[in-house]
Amino acid sequence: MNTISSAGATLASHGVAFAPQIAQAAARHGLDPALLAAVAAQETGGPGSNAGSNEVGDGGHGHGVFQIDDRWHAFAKTAAAMDPSKNADYAAGMLRGLLDRYGGDVHKALSAYNAGSPNAQGTATRWGDGKTLGYADSVLRHYRSIANGGGAASSCPPSAAPAAPSFNLAPLLDEAVAERGTVAHNVNALRAFRDAPDPFSGIIYSDDT
């Protein structure tokens, strides 16, 4: 089994839908596959699931697993937008470009992916434990769940110390670095976030103010 196939199998075992397509797109654009899968989970999965779905949403404007908006992207108006593989590839290209633009700052890139601004809170999501997170923080909560073994994302509250990571990113990340050196600048930040005992400490939630 090659590295990409292995990454796809791992994502699938962690509850990610369209895992092979997401792993392939992540590798092509030098992204952490769990991060790309977390975006899909945020867009079409929801706070209780790490599995995205291939659908038309957002009042008919969001297309596919990654909800590419037809008001801003001509791609979303084509049949390809509903092909999970092409949808994932388009989303991965967007995220890669935003990471490069914002110097590898994952939070800013995610905020811009959703709202067009690196400093926007973006779409708010209320999780099962009552916490309301902005778009980037919600994606990163999905990321934490996927990277550390999957399961229901809402079952891992921010205050809980997660189990040791079981998602081995090293082979795919090393392969991506060899193909595209620019991925290196955001890898360490994601690994640190993944391994931190409480990645949500210090966040001010809207229902806590």
- pLDDT tens-digit series, residues 73-95: 999 899 999 999 999 999 999 99
Task: Evaluate if residue 126 carries a pLDDT over 60.
Answer: yes
> Quick check: helix, strand or coil at residue 94?
helix
What whole-number distance in Å separates Cα of residue 63 and Cα of residue 165? Answer: 32
Q: What is the pLDDT, as a whole number, of residue 70?
A: 86
Please write the tens of the pLDDT for every residue from 30-48: 999 999 999 999 999 988 7
pLDDT at 139 over 80: yes
pLDDT at 56 over 90: no
Q: Is 200 a residue whose pLDDT tops 70?
A: no
pLDDT > 60? residue 197: no
- pLDDT higher than threshold 90 for residue 198: no
In this predicted structure, the answer to whether residue 203 has a pLDDT above a threshold of 70 is no
Give residue limits of the domains in the chain.
3-208
Architecture of domain 3-208: Orthogonal Bundle (1.10)
Residue 57 three-state SS? strand
| More confident site: 180 or 107 | 107
pTM of the model: 0.72
Averaged confidence pLDDT in the chain: 77
Instruction: Please name the residues in contact with 14: beta carbons below 8 A apart, sequence gap of 6 or more.
Output: 50, 145, 146, 149, 150, 151, 167
54 has pLDDT over 60: yes
Q: Which amino acid is at 164?
A: A
Task: Give the mean model confidence (pLDDT) for residues 45-60.
Answer: 84
Pairing relationship of beta strands 62-63 and 56-57 according to DSSP bridges: antiparallel
Backbone angles phi, psi at 110, to 5 degrees: -65, -40
Dihedral sign, Cα of residue 75, residue 81, residue 83, residue 89: positive
Per-residue confidence (pLDDT) for residue 194, from 0 to 100: 55
Strand partners, 54: none
pLDDT at 123 > cutoff 50: yes
- Confidence band of 190 (pLDDT split at 50, 70, 90): low
Largest CA distance in the chain: 49
Give 68's strand partners. Answer: 63
Between 165 and 169, name the one with better pLDDT.
169
Q: How confident is the model at residue 10 (pLDDT cuts 50, 70, 90)?
A: confident
- Return the pLDDT at 193: 52
Query: Closest Cα to residue 50, out of 155, 124, 137?
Result: 155
Centroid of chain to Cα 69 = 17
